Structure 1
Amino acid sequence: MASPHPTATPVRRKRAVVDASGCGYEARDVWTLSFHSEKRWSDAAVVTYLERALRPGETVIYRAQLTPFIYANGLFAAAFAVPVFVFGMSLPDAASEAPFLMAAAPLFIGVVLLVGAFVARVTTEIAVTDQRIILKRGLVRRDTVEMNVGKVESVDIRQSVLGRIFNFGTVLVRGTGAGLAPLRYVEDPLALRSAITN
């Protein structure tokens, strides 16, 4: 987590200084300290798309994000490489590289799933404003969907046992004539529903 305390960064600025004759000015490089908040900078980076999508006078009421639980499949697959490696070592006639080759497959699958989950969590933005619901997905291929709050007919939530324990679930937003695609692995789905319906 970024530190909420301001940090100082050296910044080189040009400053006009009177020359020795008193008749002219020269520009000199002057190093100064620029104070900024790391947390504020990181928040601004996250909401870049949302800030550009906001209309004049539109206010953000709630922002949702995907739960860290989306990393579970990748972690499980990567961890499965350990017993596979141990099993390979226990084979009596196995070649020296056999355990590594056997463990490489689940480890590779785990890494791919973890990278995919990380990209999905970082690039997904879900926001509720006083006018619209805004959904943005994707890094290279961007998928954006918007719905006016006044057209929302119902908001349903689906939670498994694990979802109730770790506070995540799927949110289904239905509107007049259409609806948003299911929002899966949403963190604190009840809070999102309250922001949409209230």
Structure 2
Amino acid sequence: MSYVQSVIVPGEKIIARARTHWFIYLPSLCWLALGGALSLLLPLPFAALGYLLLAGALFLVLKAWIYVHSTELAVTSSRVIAKFGFIRRETVELQHSKVESLQVNQTILGRLFDYGSVVITGSGGTHAPIPYIAHPLTFRSAALTGMEALAHESPAAQDSD
């Protein structure tokens, strides 16, 4: 069960979710290719450098895989929930009324491959950047649209009581 599923309360619905982009694996895959090429092409005493690069690259692949599988970002009907970390977990849970902004930061490569950092800014100084999010502008739009729709429903629901 995901973290978001485990913390939502009865009646709370998930409006939007974000996933980690595959681009997070690219640096480690480049090191893996370089290490493999060096270990195959260099003579034996120097091939050790290739083996070291392969070992380091495998570590980076594992680190990226753990990040991908331990990062969650969701907007529910009442709050924004972000969780990242596997052994050392960090969570941010902000009620909609406490969210000041959902920013998207994208590099040139991020724009080309449609990934970026989503930065949740909340009242009280909460500032949570979450990098390598796939389709960050789509997520931000869905989240803001859902939050706006819920904000417009709330006064009507209160008037009918």
The answer on whether the counterparts of 2:40 and 2:47 sit within 8 Å (CA) in structure 1 is: no
Q: Structure 1: which amino acid aligns with 2:78?
A: Q
Q: Any runs of at least 4 consecutive aligned residues in structure 1 with deviations exceeding 3 A, and if so which?
A: none
User: Cα distance, 1:82 vs. partner?
Assistant: 3.5
State the Cα distance separating 1:87 from its structure 2 match.
5.3
Looking at both structures, which has the greater relative contact order when contacts are Cα pairs under 8 Å and sequence separation is at least 6?
Answer: 2
8 Å CA contact 1:67, 1:187 repeated in 2: yes
Bigger share in helix: 2
1:131 is displaced (CA, Å) by: 0.7
Aligned length: 145
Instruction: Give deviations 1:34-91, integer Å, cap 9, x for gaps.
Output: xxxxxxxxxxx4x3x22210012100001111101100111011111134235523xx
Distance 1:64 1:135, change over 3 A: same
Query: Deviation of residue 133 (structure 1)?
Result: 0.7
Q: 1:19-98 maps to which residues of 2 (within 5 A)?
A: 45=1, 47=2, 49-85=3-39, 88-89=42-43, 97-98=44-45
**Aligned-pair distance for 1:111?**
0.3
Rg larger in structure: 1
Equivalent-residue separation in structure 2 for 1:65 and 1:180 (angstroms): 19
Report the equivalent of 2:152: none
The percentage of counterpart residues that share the same residue type is 34
Gaps of 5+ in 1: 1-44, 90-96
Aligned CA-pair RMSD? 1.6
Matched with 1:158 is 105
TM-score by length of 2: 0.82
Unaligned runs of 5+ in 2: 146-161
Contact 2:80 2:95 in 1 (8 A): yes
Tell whether the 8 Å contact from 2:36 to 2:51 is kept in structure 1 after alignment.
no
